[in-house]
Amino acid sequence: MATDADRDEPSDEAVVQTASEAAEELIFSRYKQSIVRDYDVTAIFEDGVLEVDVYLNAPDEEDGPDPDRVADDAAIAAREAVDELFGE
Per residue in 65-85, pLDDT (tens digit) is: 999 999 999 999 999 999 999
CA dihedral 87, 13, 77, 71 (to 10 degrees): 160
CATH 3.30.300.100 fits 4-85, yes or no: yes
Q: Is 58 helix (H, G, I), strand (E, B) or coil?
A: coil
Exposed e or buried b per residue across 48-65, where buried means at least 16 C-beta atoms within 10 angstroms of its C-beta: eebebebebebeeeeeeb
Q: Kindly list the domain boundaries of the chain, sorted by start residue.
A: 4-85
Strands 38-46 and 49-57 turn out to be antiparallel
Round to whole Å and give the CA distance between 75 and 9.
22
Q: Which pTM was predicted? A: 0.87
Q: Percentage of the chain with pLDDT > 70?
A: 92
pLDDT score for 63: 86
